[in-house]
Homo-oligomer: A and B are copies of this chain.
Amino acid sequence: MLHDEVVARIRDQLIEGRIAPGARIPERELCQTLDISRTPLREALKVLAAEGHVVLLPNRGARAAKLTLADVRDLFEVSAALESAGGELACQRITDAELAFIAARHAEMEAHYTARDMRAYYACNRAIHEAIMRASGNAVLIGIYESVSARIRRARYVAPMTEPHWRSALQEHAAMLNALERRDGPMLAMILKTHLRHKGSEVERAGFATL
């Protein structure tokens, strides 16, 4: 198994909560599960620590990072900054094909809203946000966005949207698509910032304590 694959596998376990936040990471056990020895596992843990998914205590092993309320606030603030910048750049650089892709996902998303299929809705929602970031054409920005998104994802799992928030989120998305089509960068940046602030406060309110 390749190094990056080991990192990705463990990261997935952390994001999906299969390794509980704050839990000690059983080095021995993971070695058996992944069928690798301690050396490559420890290399992976060091990388995950640099990414913020894991906390390393000297001589006391690795623990799955625990998101505090402050962390969630910080992550959403950063995400807002990254996405608004990405949106602004996307308006300068997006191709018609990319725009069509986003419009298609948006249409799907509206259907999922009507059908009250929240899981499918989330998938479209995420695809749209990622597509906008890709359209920014900025590899560094995309990389950091993915890293921050991964850390946020766990927090979002435990925060199902309320109906009124869901409706207004959809309206914000419609406005986003409109701004993108008009290549109105500052407008899209503003909408995304607001959109992310709403998402953030929703997550912070809705039983985030359970993490």
Closest to A44 in B: B46
Kindly state whether residue A150 has any CB partner on chain B within 8 Å: no
Number of interface residues of A (CB under 8 A): 33
Query: Which residues does chain B contribute within 8 Å of A138, judged by CB atoms?
Result: 73-74, 77-78
Kindly state whether residue A1 has any CB partner on chain B within 8 Å: no
Query: Which residues does chain B contribute within 8 Å of A75, judged by CB atoms?
Result: 140
A82 to B80, CA, bound (A): 10
Query: Least Cβ distance of A42 to chain B in Å?
Result: 7
Q: Are B144 and A144 in contact (CB under 8 A)?
A: yes
Kindly state whether residue A71 has any CB partner on chain B within 8 Å: yes
Kindly state whether residue A25 has any CB partner on chain B within 8 Å: no
Q: Mark A46-70, 1 if CB is under 8 A from B, else 0.
A: 1100111000101000000000001
Q: Are A78 and B140 in contact (CB under 8 A)?
A: yes
A46 to B89, CA, bound (A): 31
User: Which of A52, A85, A89 has the most chain B CB atoms inside 10 A of its CB?
Assistant: A85
Find A77's partner among B44, B52, B141 (CB 8 Å cutoff).
Answer: B141
Residues of chain A from 19 to 52 with CB closer than 8 A to chain B in the complex: 39, 42-44, 46-47, 50-52
Query: Least Cβ distance of A120 to chain B in Å?
Result: 30
Known: A74-B138, A81-B84, A81-B85. 13 other contacts (CB 8 A): A3-B58, A46-B46, A46-B47, A47-B47, A52-B140, A52-B143, A71-B139, A71-B140, A74-B140, A75-B140, A77-B89, A78-B141, A81-B141
27 contacts between A and B (CB under 8 A): A2-B58, A3-B58, A44-B46, A46-B46, A46-B47, A47-B50, A50-B51, A52-B140, A52-B143, A73-B138, A74-B138, A74-B139, A77-B89, A77-B138, A77-B141, A78-B82, A78-B85, A78-B138, A78-B140, A78-B141, A78-B144, A80-B85, A81-B81, A81-B84, A81-B85, A140-B148, A144-B148
